[in-house]
Amino acid sequence: MLPQTLSAPTAPPDTAGLASGGPAARAVSLGAPGWQDNPPILEAALSTLPGRDAGVQALLDWSAAIGIELPRPGFGDTALVWELLASVAAVDLAAARTLEPHLDALAILEQAGIVDIASTFSGIGATDESTWGVFAAEGPGVRVTAVATPDGWQLDGVKPWCSLASRLSHALVTAHTENGRRLFAVALRHDGVTASDGPWVSRGLPDIVSAPVTFDGVPAVPVGDDGWYLQRPGFAWGGIGVAACWWGGTVGLARTLYAASEAREPDQIGLAHLGAVDVAVDTARAALADASAVVDGAAEPSQRPSVIAKRVRSIVAAAAETTLAHVAHALGPLPLVADEAHASRVADLQIYLRQHHAERDDAALGRALLEAGGAPW
């Protein structure tokens, strides 16, 4: 028989509502000025969110529909965008992991001044209903190059870590030109695109496959000039959107712990776990709320965008890992082996968090602080 901790409930906490969009599937607030309970876009997103068993295609179709209605970060409603990502992640991290890159791609296109997607990308068949990914990772021994031909640009090479490449219709892909790295839009259903199905043995986010893609003479449309993708302020803000998903997953775990604490009165140790989780969750919330005000120009930035983004991502990642530890200690093994929604959320969050490179990202933050000059505290 599996042991239980003193603060664990006698039965697994009922988290079925979280997975199915029931009463527990409520919006998450950053507490930013102007926020109202359940704004229409949040209500619509949560009420139409496909169930956990609906499959990837249902999540992609839902993401495309939500993306049409949602504002973009940096245009006055950044907090709302991040609240949506967090609200979805609190229910289902796989849904958030599907939605976030699609919204990021749409934001990138808008930052590039591309409003009419169908007209701009008629040559690659993109429309408002297209589903997008952003493939910008680099890896040892692999490289994608872009070459200008009489008929336009084309991509060749291998790009690692391309999430859902076999399921998406289009992607924004970084490639090397003679003058540096440049962003291109491509159709992933072109015959020259080969999306690998692995290796992908992940127990977290098992259906959100991230694997290499090979490009062989694939037509591509430039988005911005050489270097624009990495140099724009929106590059940093996109990274915080990922952190909003981490935070939402963290909130989902915190809700489970709170429900378990209500179901069975916790002892002193259980109360300490609950208090520590509250501090972690609210610390991350405050960091995201402050950053959203900076992105929208409502607050003066204390640092350059790259520093702010690195700091916020590290704060949220630390809060998530702290919460994972406290929830595990408080609830013991039972919900991990008997509660499908909880076990999936834990595994999903653990793998999603690895987009933060732990001490290496902290080192990158330290370097960015020194390069900025002047102690920020």
| CATH for 120-223 (3.40.50.1820, 2.90.10.10, 2.40.110.10, 3.40.50.300) | 2.40.110.10
- Average pLDDT (253-279) is 96
Round to whole Å and give the CA distance between 59 and 64: 9
Question: Is a pLDDT exceeding 90 seen at residue 40?
Answer: no
* Cβ atoms of 128 and 135 closer than 8 Å: no
Question: In which region does residue 293 sit, left (phi positive, over 0), alpha (psi from -120 to 50) or beta (all else)?
Answer: alpha
Q: Which two tokens stand for residue 58?
A: 């249902």
Q: Which two tokens stand for residue 177?
A: 């030109």
Round to whole Å and give the CA distance between 133 and 116: 18
Confidence (pLDDT) at 107: 94
Question: Is a pLDDT exceeding 90 seen at residue 26?
Answer: no
What sign does the CA torsion over 200, 204, 206, 212 have? negative
Q: Which amino acid is at 4?
A: Q
Residue with tokens 């949602």: 70
Round to whole Å and give the CA distance between 312 and 346: 21
Helix (H) or strand (E) segment spanning residue 171 = strand 170-177
57 φ/ψ angles, rounded to the nearest 5 degrees:
-60, -40
More confident residue, 202 or 15: 202
Q: How confident is the model at residue 76 (pLDDT cuts 50, 70, 90)?
A: confident
Where in the chain are all domains bearing CATH 1.20.140.10? 230-372
- Average pLDDT (326-347) is 97
Confidence (pLDDT) at 293: 93
Where in the chain are all domains bearing CATH 2.40.110.10? 120-223
Helix (H) or strand (E) segment spanning residue 187 = strand 180-187
DSSP string for residues in 260-282: HHHHS---HHHHHHHHHHHHHHH
Confidence (pLDDT) at 193: 98
Q: How confident is the model at residue 38 (pLDDT cuts 50, 70, 90)?
A: low
Confidence (pLDDT) at 106: 96
Q: Which two tokens stand for residue 173?
A: 């892909």
Q: Which two tokens stand for residue 225?
A: 């000039």
Confidence (pLDDT) at 7: 37
Q: What is the pLDDT of residues 148-205, one digit of tens each?
A: 999 999 999 999 999 999 999 999 999 999 999 999 999 999 999 999 998 999 999 9
- Half-sphere exposure (CA, 13 Å, Cβ side) for 92? 26
Domain topology for 230-372 = Butyryl-CoA Dehydrogenase, subunit A; domain 3 (1.20.140)
Cβ neighbors of 221 (< 8 A, separation 6 or more) are 120, 121, 123, 124, 152, 153, 184, 185, 186
* Cβ atoms of 194 and 216 closer than 8 Å: yes
339 φ/ψ angles, rounded to the nearest 5 degrees:
-120, 105
Q: Which two tokens stand for residue 43?
A: 């209500």
* Cβ atoms of 184 and 70 closer than 8 Å: no
Q: How confident is the model at residue 129 (pLDDT cuts 50, 70, 90)?
A: very high
Q: Write down how long the chain is.
A: 377
Coil/strand/helix, residue 51: coil
